[in-house]
Chain A
């Protein structure tokens, strides 16, 4: 598992240990995802499929609540892999993301040595140094853990855009070569290539170096048909008509100029509430009364309530120019 540093790396990752492909084909992957409760479109399934074949991480970007994290979880469920999650935040550093030396244990070890005779101590210094920088004193953090795992794992690096731009560099070695260099120890290489997902809410531009190493997947709000399917799948006891109506009202809301558009998870919350309330078809009154489940800003709710009850005149909606 551990070898000396500075072993050459093939430019396209040719010397990586190749694991057997996990997924057979794009449609097969999509169907498989549906069985674990994640409805993917072809694009999404295609990118995940490629990520497996090319042994590359996937950078998933999109508005909040479109199922970015859920994708990684579902893949883990589907492949029966362990999900290792690294939640990023400002100020995250090496010792929390990669590895840390267990310095308390090291101190103890040194002290034990210190109680021995002075002459012996000098002679044993080299030995001691080697000893305290061995795997026994290494605390693994999520990234290293994912690399060292011998069982199948899915690594999820959540909200990577919260990292400072300097800290991003931590990820680069892992993402391109699936290895971690520890100065005192050497390079730890992956025995098998984990599937890696990075999610971003796009609050800042990620560095070129990071983006270059990843496959890029933009998750947007789903189409009406897909959203309806998701509602049907995730909300038990909902009728087809109600799900259809929910999906289409949400689409109308997303076309408005709001501060925050309703996300998929909010759609689901709303649909569940409607079912609980025993509502079979949404009219203006129920829609207005339950809007606060979909929209989280007062001004948005007011705008939406006004808009839903009004009809636009047909003329002028379709511009003629291109």
Chain B
């Protein structure tokens, strides 16, 4: 057990979680107090001792599922899948294990499960929300559709995709909803009447309405089915993972499943899913930053001695100025101009930076935003009129007039226009942040604009989402601008962005 645990801890460290020696020792101590066969309890014990931030939970979860997966011959890929039954391990904790279970589909199974049978089972399982049947369907579907081959070094995502494509969940969902419309509830029989901890009540809306469903009820029903489908997807993922572990071993699989933490994901190469994660992470980040900056402002270095206040307080010590009082300096809030390239290659980066800056706008006396591709447009108004920052970003993409000729980045022209139209608004309190990879498609850089801006503004910063080693290669002209900037920062992930914003205030 200790070997598994040390392996697990080093895997967590490789995934980027800060796990100290003390915490590892705590984990070892913790699992001594729990029954080893209770997998769920072990998981929570390890989670509580090793993971100290909710954003790391996902990474922990993946690693745990790999390292502490169920093993045994029944997960070998080569073996005939439909014929064996696994102990039902991952719902209700503390459930008697070992006893073969999962006959939920009512004696179906067997060697020859046709696609139609699987589809029928899936439909029934989703409609009734029967956990055991869902798990069984997942197992059958993976065996049938994933087409897993031993020793093949592909990740689980590929198998997941193949399985889901064959199951046609969208179609099933549509059918379920349609049926809910036509009759007042599924027929009374429910397969596998076991009181599983996770089992959802079957006929969800029966008794509430006869006949036609109202819009609200239908909405709730859809959400219910969607939750069940998510459940199924998790089951399938777990099943695939179990088989992969059996096939390729723990370490190899953990390596291929390892994903960067949300704050370390590279903006420029993020997948769609990772972008969603970053977007989720940015809101709490902004809130934290806001709280921290506000606090910092208040607790900044004490100012000059406040003589009046000192005298007044000395009265309570009989005229002895025992407690000197100081004036609080009022640091001026900077004014921010963000000039962002929103062309395809760096759009995600610009979006997140704008989001973050506007989310903490209270820390600045004024925030104005400009976006460009080859033309440039001010979008401050859009942010002011929108309810949420997310909505504003969305509208910027649609409404801003940023294309001048062909919609390929032209930094020179954009800066030139900026200088002509808004140059005189730049004053000594202004900090200018330029966002972009400075890949200007070999147009003229017009670096003199940045030089002029530098003269007028307090600071000019450039944030570049490309790795530093790429700067100056190809059509990147960041070096030409860099000589006139107060600082050029590599800003590839949330962590670096957060660091910069803090530095800015």
Interface residues of A (CB under 8 A from B): 12, 26-27, 42-43, 46-47, 49-50, 53-54, 56, 58-59, 61-62, 90, 164, 202-205, 208, 211-212, 214-218, 220, 224-225, 241, 244-245, 248-249, 251-252, 255, 257, 259, 281-284, 287, 299, 307-312, 314-318, 320-322
Contact B34 A26 (CB under 8 A): yes
Which residues on A sit within 8 Å (CB–CB) of B222? 311-312, 314, 317
A321 to B207, CA, bound (A): 37
Checking A307, A317, A322 against B173 with a beta-carbon cut-off of 8 angstroms, the contacting residue is A317
Nearest CB of chain A from residue B351's CB, rounded to whole Å: 16
Q: Does B208 lie at the interface of the complex (its beta carbon under 8 Å from any beta carbon of A)?
A: yes
The residue in chain A whose Cβ has the minimal distance to the Cβ of B230 is: A318
Which residues on B sit within 8 Å (CB–CB) of A50? 30, 33-34, 45, 48-49
Contact B215 A311 (CB under 8 A): yes
A251 to B53, CA, bound (A): 24
The residue in chain A whose Cβ has the minimal distance to the Cβ of B198 is: A225
- In the complex, 11 of the A-B residue pairs with CB atoms within 8 angstroms, ordered by the A residue number, are A42-B94, A47-B45, A204-B288, A215-B26, A216-B47, A225-B198, A248-B224, A307-B219, A318-B170, A320-B161, A320-B169
Q: For chain B residues 6-35, which have a beta carbon within 8 Å of chain A?
A: 18, 20, 22-23, 25-26, 29-30, 33-34
Q: Interface 1/0s, chain B 210-253, versus A by CB < 8 A?
A: 00001110111011101101000000010000000000000000
Checking B170, B208, B223 against A281 with a beta-carbon cut-off of 8 angstroms, the contacting residue is B208
Contact B223 A203 (CB under 8 A): no
A217 to B47, CA, bound (A): 8
Contact A317 B215 (CB under 8 A): no
The residue in chain B whose Cβ has the minimal distance to the Cβ of A166 is: B299
Contact A284 B388 (CB under 8 A): no
A308 to B30, CA, bound (A): 45
Which residues on B sit within 8 Å (CB–CB) of A27? 94
A321 to B274, CA, bound (A): 13
Which residues on A sit within 8 Å (CB–CB) of B483? none
A283 to B218, CA, bound (A): 11
A232 to B430, CA, bound (A): 57
Q: Which of B51, B156, B173, B200 has the most CB of A within 10 A?
A: B173
Q: Does B121 lie at the interface of the complex (its beta carbon under 8 Å from any beta carbon of A)?
A: no
Checking B48, B52, B215 against A310 with a beta-carbon cut-off of 8 angstroms, the contacting residue is B215
Contact A204 B292 (CB under 8 A): yes
Contact A241 B207 (CB under 8 A): yes
Contact A164 B174 (CB under 8 A): no
A61 to B53, CA, bound (A): 9
Contact A310 B219 (CB under 8 A): yes
Known pairs A245-B220, A316-B170 / 4 extra A-B pairs, C-beta < 8 Å: A214-B52, A317-B222, A321-B273, A322-B164
Which residues on A sit within 8 Å (CB–CB) of B219? 252, 307-312
Which residues on B sit within 8 Å (CB–CB) of A311? 215, 218-219, 222
Contact status of A12 and B44, CB under 8 A, knowing A204-B288, A284-B216, A310-B219: no
Checking A46, A249, A307 against B45 with a beta-carbon cut-off of 8 angstroms, the contacting residue is A46
